[in-house]
A = this chain, B = another copy of it.
Amino acid sequence: MNIQPLLNYISKIVTLTDEEITFLTSQVTYRKYLKGQYVLQQGDINKSVCFVVSGCTKMFYVDADGQEHIIMFAVEDWWSSDLGSFISQTPSDFNVQCIEDTECIVFSYNNMEETYAHIPKLERLFRKTIEKALVASQKRIVRNFSMSAKERYIIFRDSYPEIEQRIPQYMVASYLGISKEFLSKIKKQIAFQ
């Protein structure tokens, strides 16, 4: 169990005492998923939130026509899972699936109250995480309304170059909300200009 990446992440936001670190370690579990495994399925209530230590996950939605729409990716040092379902304990609209072998540190909903009670700083940390998710989500709505697919692709590529490298292109297309054929066209166009 390699909890160090989580501690590094936390230390950027709040400072924990040795005692708090010990307690935190006792509250979380470590899980390894294989490529292709589901962390969460559409319709289930999300009981846990995962901090990714290694690997990569995608959160996506399958619509009425069976089409897959990727909402977000999570790589090292990111929170995977549907935060909305986790915090409200309502059925999730999304699936979370590993697109690489993935190791993560898991916070269970059942432990959260106890964890917050023992380490109140963590409540603040999670509040901030949710805040960031809200801001990012609203920015995404705005972009989808006011920008072309090409502009959105360039922003994605420049914001997350590491992610673009390691995932198949058709998933980038799904994230951008366009077909893989059209993304192919966009990339060609960018290469020649």
Output the nearest chain B residue to A62 by Cβ-Cβ distance: B146
A145 engages B87 (CB within 8 Å) = no
CB contacts (< 8 Å) of A58 on chain B: these are none
A138 engages B84 (CB within 8 Å) = yes
User: What's the dominant secondary structure at chain A's contact region?
Assistant: helix
8 A Cβ contacts from A10-43 to B: none
A131 engages B71 (CB within 8 Å) = no
Is A191 among interface residues, defined by CB-CB distance under 8 A?
A: no
Question: Which size bracket describes the interface of A in this complex?
Answer: 35 or more
Chain A residues proximal to chain B, CB less than 8 Å: 61, 63-65, 67, 69, 71, 82-85, 87-88, 90, 93-94, 127-128, 130-135, 137-142, 144-147, 177
CB contacts (< 8 Å) of A140 on chain B: these are 141
**Contact partner of A84 among B61, B94, B134, B144, CB < 8 A?**
B134
A93 engages B137 (CB within 8 Å) = no
